[in-house]
């Protein structure tokens, strides 16, 4: 049975891993925007990852940056992501 201290340690480790992955995610976002890629599956995969990260307060700027770009050609889905993000970060 896990203790509170064990859970906190695991949470810190997961958050550290998330933070370590952010430079790679940021580069991927920059490439998507620079090349004006519109691959919905790739973009939504990254947005989904960043939604997961938002639960530990990681990646907010990257999420907003990519979703703003996404809204330029898919405003309906981008709006849904904003709603999901707000829901996940308010709880």
Structural tokens at position 8: 């906190």
Q: pLDDT over 90 for what percent of the chain?
A: 91
Q: Which helix (H) or strand (E) holds 59?
A: none
Dist CA 48 CA 70 (whole Å): 13
The mean per-residue pLDDT over the stretch 36-58 comes to 97
So what's the pLDDT on residue 10? 94
SS3 label, residue 78: helix
Residues 58-73 pLDDT 10s: 999 999 999 999 999 9
Supply the pLDDT for residue 91. Answer: 64
């Amino acid at each position: 049975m896990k203790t509170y201290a064990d859970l906190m340690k695991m949470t810190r480790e997961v958050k550290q891993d998330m933070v370590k992955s952010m430079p790679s995610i940021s580069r991927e976002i920059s490439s998507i925007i620079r090349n004006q890629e519109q691959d919905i599956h790739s973009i939504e995969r990254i947005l989904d990852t960043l939604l997961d990260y938002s639960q530990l307060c990681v990646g907010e700027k990257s999420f907003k940056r990519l979703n703003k770009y996404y809204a330029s050609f898919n405003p309906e889905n981008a709006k849904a992501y904003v709603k999901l993000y707000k829901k996940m970060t308010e709880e």
